[in-house]
Amino acid sequence: MPLHIGISGGSVGGLFAATQLARHGHRVTLFERSPHGLGGRGAGLVIQQPVLDLLQREGLQDLAGHGVWAEQRLYLDDRGNVIGREPRRQMQVSWDVLFAAFRGRIGDADYHPGVRVEDVEENRQHVLVRCSDGSRHRVDLLIGADGQASRVRRGVDTRLGAEGQPGYAGYVAWRGLLPERALPPVAANQLLERMAFHFAPQRQALGYLVPGAQGELAPGQRRYNWVWYRHLAPAALARLMADAGREGALSLGPGQVPAAWAARLRADAARGLPPSFAAVVQADPRPFMQPIHDYATPQMVHGRVALLGDAAFIARPHTAMGVAKAAADAMALGDALAGIEPAGVATALLAYEQQRLQAGRAIVAYGQRLGESMA
Ligand SMILES: Cc1cc2nc3c(=O)[nH]c(=O)nc-3n(C[C@H](O)[C@H](O)[C@H](O)COP(=O)(O)OP(=O)(O)OC[C@H]3O[C@@H](n4cnc5c(N)ncnc54)[C@H](O)[C@@H]3O)c2cc1C
């Protein structure tokens, strides 16, 4: 008898899981709190082996070729001098294209946008899920694919209190996505077609081209993705979130950064970054901001509830492994639940955990090492 599986979170992790579970005949129901759909909000990502494997399983391998190539890596000092150059081809594909392909695999009747999972109650036979629209769903198991601020996590990681959240690492990633044509010449000449890096104590910056908002790959239609990691004391972060009217939120999206903070960022860029990177930051009218968090769940499974993707482990973005980790989790989960009847769910989930727990911990630790210079 196929299982009925609830999934909290309809981003890539939830969709990856849904496709892997549906291919074994299970019925999936996804709840996604965002009412407007997630398309059009992503940037680029480096395709790693687990994503390739997942695309292969789904017959979507052509997507892996739909990206923008960087031909080399460039390392810059404070003044913009090139202090290292490495021939290394690397492709960035569009998060939106990946999301749309997997969203297209799930019928609208099984994907509920604008519905937040609010409460989870579990017993030996099933899980009762209560949602923000007042609906209640009885499922054989629930997957928490609800990201960094996961609601489902609280039922699995018993160390967390009711409001438990991941720990702040003491620095943030300021980011932006600038149309390629908006890059000032000093930036375009040095940075285009390359993956560029700047490393200094308590400061890292990087940038690379990604496809356009609709997946465009032609020169002139792509976007430049920049990231500037900067130290920000917890009290200053709290002030920023308060100034933005976003206390309690995990990040600030484009247009949510208060004008005074954005102005300070641009002024600081001139003093603290190589000229090409500074020019990019100064040309960007809508920077956004993501505080860096660490989180590793001590267990991925509690009875009939399991965590996946960022809900289970938050890997610092230096690793560029968030999507790959979610893909590997989803494949392991699908394999563990293949042919499983309701009575075998708890055991199958433990097999899933056994396969993915160490990998999740290792990726979190790797991210912390890459961010060590920010301390
Ligand atoms: C809009 C968007 C764009 C992104 N763009 C990129 C990108 O360009 N490059 C990149 O490398 N990574 C990107 N990411 C992050 C990347 O998807 C994750 O780091 C990684 O793939 C793990 O995915 P995830 O599904 O576990 O978590 P996430 O992608 O963070 O998804 C979690 C989802 O759960 C939903 N959710 C949260 N709480 C609830 C609840 N209580 N009930 C129901 N739903 C809930 C959220 O709205 C969100 O859609 C993006 C994420 C989002 C949401």
Which tens digits make up the pLDDT trace of 195-219?
999 999 889 999 999 999 888 999 9
Contact 115, 131 (CB under 8 A): yes
Question: Looking at ligand 1, which atom is closest to the CA of residue 117?
Answer: 42
- How large is the C-alpha radius of gyration of the chain? 21
Q: How far away, in angstroms, is 368 Cα from ligand 1 center? A: 21
Do strands 117-122 and 288-296 pair parallel, antiparallel, or not at all (unpaired)?
A: unpaired
Contact 228, 276 (CB under 8 A): no
Q: What is the pLDDT of residue 41?
A: 75
The CATH number of domain 62-94+167-293, selected from 2.60.40.1180, 2.40.110.10, 2.40.33.20, 3.30.9.60 = 3.30.9.60
Instruction: Identify which of 16, 146, 364 to mutate to test ligand 1's pocket (most ligand atoms within 8 A of the CB).
Output: 146
Q: How far apart are the first and last CA of the chain?
A: 52
Nearest-angstrom CA–CA distance, 70 and 52 = 19
Q: Is 155 in the pocket of ligand 1 (CB under 6 A)?
A: no
Q: Is 54 in the pocket of ligand 1 (CB under 6 A)?
A: no
- In degrees, to the nearest 5, what angle opens at C-alpha 364 toward C-alphas 363 and 367? 85
Nearest-angstrom CA–CA distance, 132 and 112 = 11
- In degrees, to the nearest 5, what angle opens at C-alpha 131 toward C-alphas 129 and 135? 90
In the chain, domain spans: 4-41+97-165+294-374, 62-94+167-293
Q: What is the pLDDT of residue 162?
A: 45
Q: How far away, in angstroms, is 12 Cα from ligand 1 center? A: 7
Domain 4-41+97-165+294-374 class?
A: alpha beta
Q: What is the pLDDT of residue 166?
A: 83
Q: What is the pLDDT of residue 161?
A: 57
Which tens digits make up the pLDDT trace of 23-46?
999 999 999 999 987 877 778 888
> In which residue ranges of the chain is pLDDT below 50?
162-163
Question: Looking at ligand 1, which atom is closest to the CA of residue 38?
Answer: 1
Q: What is the pLDDT of residue 163?
A: 47
Residue 326's SS3 state is helix
Question: Tokens 């509830």 — which residue?
Answer: 305
pTM comes to 0.94
Question: Looking at ligand 1, which atom is closest to the CA of residue 13?
Answer: 25
Q: What is the pLDDT of residue 375?
A: 78
> CA 168: distance to chain centroid?
16
Taking Cα atoms as reference points, which of 82, 73, 55 lies closest to residue 330?
A: 55
Contact 117, 31 (CB under 8 A): yes
Question: Looking at ligand 1, which atom is closest to the CA of residue 95?
Answer: 8
Question: Tokens 């001098």 — which residue?
Answer: 81
> CA 150: distance to chain centroid?
13
